[in-house]
Structure 1
Amino acid sequence: MFTVMIVDDEPKLRLGLQSLIPWQELGYEIMGTAANGNEALRVGEEQIPDVMLVDIRMPGMDGLQLLQEIRRRGWDTHAVVLSGYADFEYAREALQYGVEGYLLKPVNREELSTLLLKLHGQISAERLTKRVHQEAKSQEWAVYSLLSGSHDLVNVSMDELAESLGMDWPKYQIVLIAFPGLHPEEDERIRSFRDRLVTAYATDSQGVVLYFAPYTVLLLANTLDGELGRANLYRELQMLSGEIRSQMDVAAGETVLALDQIPNSFRTARSLLERSFFYDKGRVLTLETPESYRQTSSCSKDNSLLDGEEVSFRLYYLVDVGHAGAIHSLLDEAAGLMAVNGKGETEIREQFFYLANETLRKISPRLWSESIYPGEPAQFLAGIYSQRFIRDLVSYVTAVMERLARCADYTSRDNEMKRLLDFIERHHYENLRLETLAGLFNYSSSYLGQLFKNHTGEYFNAYLDRVRIGKAKELLTQGWKVYKVAEKVGYSNANYFHNKFKKLEGQSPSSYQKKSVRDEYSL
């Protein structure tokens, strides 16, 4: 039964309302009446009514003043205003005080009964929600104490505690929900999400919801059953989280059989979230969830991909020769190899930053402008650190590198051998190897070597030496010192350069330089 107070300065109306309405049938009882606002406040101090029927026009303290005062005092009272025709506009002002409705005098029995039935349902729902939240707070205290290692539960029987709190469940499982990049203490959207979670799970004792910084914790009474159960939970959490769903990470610990074992489930879920970078997005992480690159059989066996300089070398060349199709494979294999070899999230991010930065540093500025990327290179590089999952990181860098590769100008070249020769011409001074170029052009090294010999009539190394010596002759003619020329065209050893030059030109580099100077003066 909910309580009602009738406040009106007309005794006949007060008496009439008491007999007019079938209060008990509607779930109410009259707790008292008052002739004005001051008297109503005195009665209410002893017992606050659930519903108050208030006349607008009363001597002393009128209805509006009474409503204003009970709101100031924080009374949890639902008010219905009674007024005459002449007070209709005046009564509308009462709406600002949160009244549930207003009725014209003389009061119509059916109209008031209908309103009271509606209020009964509303108050019942509010009471249920309040009770659930009160019970949840006790449950929250117990769970928080267990997770934090509080001494409050020392010498407490877990069985008795679980029974007293309505938590004597056969199994328990912790689910942790995190929103990386958001501040759980400050973000109203996360607080709203927790409120919705309480309504969804605590109302019918499906679980307990609390905040255990920096996580939202959901202790499940009905533990997750297989992949389908995990998928259903994730979809529901997505729905409840609303606009911040894309920033949500979820992990579930193992199922435990006793309340005091839930810290074990918590630690498992936390360790999974701490490694969420290595999993595919869009799922509840569990001990059974495979990491993105857990299966070593799906990863490259080429350990040279652990060498940042080697991968940088290959990535830049793929972009430079316009081989967009091979970029994802290279970066995906490098990421997978780093993951299965125990590289951490920070190290992998830094490696990808290095690869991207080195490529941008070497390419022609023309490629970046032609790629029509919506931002500057610095913005792209900063975005590497905002990728929350390893596959997203690979895709993010791949997409931009492929843009750049597609802008490489090879429209005038009619086959890959011409592209390869052009590449050697432009990069002769670097540590070019047939094996590396074969990878860039998707050939085996033996097959590419044979193609190269058929097309040029020379083996790869011989052709490269001839290009380098040709470039060296130009520099020697310009007066460069021999050791400087050797470095410039790609020979780290000056003696080796001397021997190569003499073998191809029939004279030493210094003799060639002197002869070119004499020939110039003789002209």
Structure 2
Amino acid sequence: MYKIMLVDDEAEVREGIRKRIAWHDHGYECVGDCENGMDALEAAELFKPDVVLTDINMPFMDGLELTRQLSERLPWTKVVILTGYDDFDYAQQAVKLRVNDFILKPITAEELIGVLDSIKRELDEEKDRRENLVRLERQLRESLPVLKERFLERMVGTSIGLGEMEQRMAYFGLNLPGPDYVVLAADADHFGGAAPDADRELLRFAFHNIVQEIAARETASAVFRSREEKAVCILSGSLGERLFDRAQALAEEIRRSVETYLRFTVTVGIGLPVAGLTDIRRSYRSAVAALDYRVLLGTNRVISITDLEGRRNLSAETTGDWEKRLVVGVKTGSREETERAVASIVSQMKQAAPSIEQVYIRIQKLIVSLLNALEESGGGGHPFGDAANPITEVYRFKTLDEIEAWLKELCGDSIRMLAEKRSDMARNLMAKAEAYIRDNFADPSLSLKTVCEIVHMSNSYFSAMFKARTGKTFVEYLTGQRVEKAKELLAATDLKSYEIAAEVGYADPHYFSVLFKKATGDTPTEYRQRAAAEREKAP
């Protein structure tokens, strides 16, 4: 029922209208009647009527002034002017005040009912619109988490303009100010045992929830669950403020927490650090590519793509599982994996019994993927020979057995080329690290982390590579450089022991003496005395 009020200074008019209209039959409830505009305004604020039927010419406050006041205080209330004055000026003012209808006295019950029915239809439509809007707003609020996840997935997976990206991020309340970004992709290795599907879904939810809780400690981050059930985290910050170190620490905490609290393992891939929102796709693709290295490195670990392939744009996107296994095997240097993938590819084709033309097309697609993998991994060139066209080479073969042997040989050559390239890269980076240590050993703040940042490697990976090259740990190598310089200064200068300690990077002279004696068997004083004695004996 809609509420209606009557306003007229003639009591018989008000009474006549009240008695002549069957209000409930037409969807109304008459909540009151007033003899002037001032009383009507007070009653309207109390009853909040949907419709006010008012005369114009009344004492204290006329109908037009009442209409103006109602439009300010109760803007949703409909007003119908009922007057005996056939005055065009009144009609003009009523239109300006957005009066719903303007009718002249005397009016029959049928005419008034027609007006009220028309207003009721209008009120019904407005009510429906309001209810639809409320329902849509509620549905939107309920759908926001899913919409937010789909936007984040679209942001890392497709090309979105910077303007749209920033607008949607503001709408979803995402705080990713940049200027640099790193994407982490975490994926369950296995759930243990033969867990029912319902339990697995619960475990996936718990896994995603752990990632969200851990990432929430980072003020500039966003997490979503991809359609492939991976938990993806975008970290924002500055590489100068150790963004990559934060990503590694976050990934390790995720791995450890899932294993501790959920009793299954996950592997976390860390993508390339990138600059700018529009380049996040590259970091995401390389994070997913890092996960592929589980094939070689095993599960329950953090895998950084920069440890494996340098700061390059890596992608394991392929046209099928058979192709993906082969490309990953080549990129990870697993000859056994590539040969198994080639055998699987050929076996599938044999079972399908395609024509030789279909075989050529399928193998050519595979060769293109292999060439892309070599380029992305920094291999350069191709293993086909300078004179050969990689795409047409397949036409030399007439049987699948010949093609299988050729593909295995190509994969082996590709692995060798990549190994040589990566070995050169590793040698160059280790040489760069050694040169940096030699040039900066006198800096007391020189640390393993500092050198790792120079060569863009994680601490653990650098330590393993450095020990393999030099036969020493970072600390042993740094100490050796400092001790050699100290021996030189002790033998050739009159500097005090504490002065030499400061010259070679030790703020604590006592600590310097202990290290020196451990390395040479002599204290600094003993070494200086022996060096002086040897000079005196020299001819």
TM range (shorter): 0.3 to 0.5
Output the TM-score relative to the length of structure 1. Answer: 0.37
Output the TM-score relative to the length of structure 2. Answer: 0.36
